[in-house]
Amino acid sequence: MALLRNLLTLCLWASLASSSQERRQDLRSCLGDALRGDEARVRFSSDPEYVTESLMPFNLNLQYNASAVVYPNSTEEVVKIISCARKYGRKVQARGGGRDFINRCLGGANGAVVVDMVNFNKREINSEDGVAVFGSGLLLKDVARFLHQNGGRYFPHGASPTVGIGGHIMVGGMGYSSRKNGLSIDALREIEVVLADGTVTRASADKNPDLFWAMRGAGASFGIATEYTFQTLPEPETVLSYIFNFTSDNPSILKEAVKSYHTIVQDPKLSRSMGGTTRLSRNSFLFDGAFFGTEEEFNAMKLESRLPATTSTTITPNLSWIDYSEQVFGHAGKSNSPAYFYTQDMGVNRHNVPANTSVDAWLDYIFSADSGSATWSFQFDLTGGKTNEVASDATAFPHRDSIYFMTAYASSTGETSDKTIKFINEAVLKLQDNKPDDYMSYVGVASLAHGQKAQERYWGANLPRLERIKAKIDPTDIFSTPQYVKPTSS
């Protein structure tokens, strides 16, 4: 009897293994057919150099293994890819630039079908009304250069050249000019989207308004965008670049600079023409950005008198928009470099601005606590201005009352240690006065620190509506990662 049981067990195991292998082969065959038999555009985990050339994880701490990475050339091929994934029980995730802090663009878990949109590079503009159409596979640098070369146009967007327009729009699209002209999604007029059931539809304020609402701030949970239509603006007439540099091995000097900056960003009269970022590291504090106006207008803010003495100050007026953009693109680097890192962020509005005691506690902690072997930095991105004029529920992007976002970042040469993760988490808690539920987070700076509260932190009061829309158009959660919007069960 024992021998018979063992034989039956072996037969069952062999049957299951064979079935699993057949499913993999069937998925391979289906995806191959979807891309017209072009093997170069379908990559599987068994293929040589799959991880380094196809998967390309941005955060090396998170080694998710997607079932396949595919490179469609058309909307019709995207439809067929989704059909294959649905048929064989796979989740689907679109990828643009691939710059995702927790590798959600790889599915955020094993087994997804990754749809790389690199071949969706359409670029068109109507010279009469400035309406531009872009494929979702373009990078921000591609968009900026095309618009400059075709009528000197632009719309507000971020400053990282290798960020994909697809992912950038899905999360809102913040940039240096957002205080003056709003977010990228505020310039968006229409999207072409492939839904979970394979339907190709267009969404705008007048057509499929619920989908259009959801795509502007939570888009990756609802479909694969293939094309965006924007109302562009004339390029800014003049841009002033500014850099206030504080370099010191004395933490007291850096602390004073940070606290002065923190006072400046709370000023309700701060010019909307000012956009900026600061980065604090162990021995430096850099406050830089763009001012969309003249040197005289910039000087009227009297920033230098509101800051302590700098190590160096660099003011460069009368730049063109494209010259400034290329300058920023050059500093950011030409490619996404994979790394071992950990992040967490917090959004700050006028109702939850950290008190001076919290700022002091945070600064004291980061300059004294053991961060392990990691290199850390804390970045503050200035928001507010024009973005504050839009209601928090006007789009899925909920942070319309924010005045800045703080991002904590730590990188290491190998897998990020528990000590470093604890350091970052504790640092953020210090700034939050140990009240994390008082603060939301930007979905564009995703973090595993949020755990089961991720969706609440990213979308706040907009989450219930998002869950209802998800239940209507993607009830089986085809477009899924652990931190995406889930369909409501009610």
pTM value is 0.93
Q: Where in the chain is the domain with CATH 3.30.43.10?
A: 34-116
Determine the CATH number of domain 34-116.
3.30.43.10
Longest Cα pair distance anywhere in the chain, in angstroms? 94
The pLDDT value given to residue 244: 98
CB 458 within 8 A of CB 444: no
User: 123-235 belongs to which CATH class?
Assistant: alpha beta
Q: Where in the chain is the domain with CATH 3.30.465.10?
A: 123-235
Sheet holding 131-135, edge to edge: 123-125, 131-135, 224-231, 188-194, 200-204
Count the Cβ atoms, other than its own, within 10 Å of residue 139. Answer: 23
Q: What angle separates helix 321-332 from helix 140-149, to the nearest 10 degrees? A: 160
Q: Where in the chain is the domain with CATH 3.40.462.20?
A: 239-453
The pLDDT value given to residue 265: 96
- Residue partners of 293: CB distance under 8 A and separation at least 6: 238, 240, 271, 273
The pLDDT value given to residue 108: 96
How does pLDDT run along the chain (490 residues), one tens digit per residue?
Answer: 555 455 555 544 544 444 444 455 699 999 999 999 998 999 998 899 999 999 999 999 999 999 999 999 999 999 999 999 999 999 999 999 999 999 999 999 999 999 999 999 999 999 999 999 999 999 999 999 999 999 999 999 999 999 999 999 999 999 999 999 999 999 999 999 999 999 999 999 999 999 999 999 999 999 999 999 999 999 999 999 999 999 999 999 999 999 999 999 999 999 999 999 999 999 999 999 999 999 999 999 999 999 999 999 999 999 999 999 999 998 876 667 899 999 999 999 999 999 999 999 999 999 999 999 999 999 999 999 999 999 999 999 999 999 999 999 999 999 999 999 999 999 999 999 999 999 999 999 999 999 999 999 999 999 999 999 999 999 999 999 999 999 997 6
Tell me the C-alpha distance between 91 and 296, whole Å: 54
Whether CATH 3.40.462.20 fits 239-453? yes
Tell me the C-alpha distance between 302 and 294, whole Å: 14
The gap from C-alpha 342 to its chain's centroid, in whole angstroms, comes to: 15
DSSP string computed for 104-145: GGGTSSTTPEEEE-TT---EEE-TTT-EEEEETT-BHHHHHH
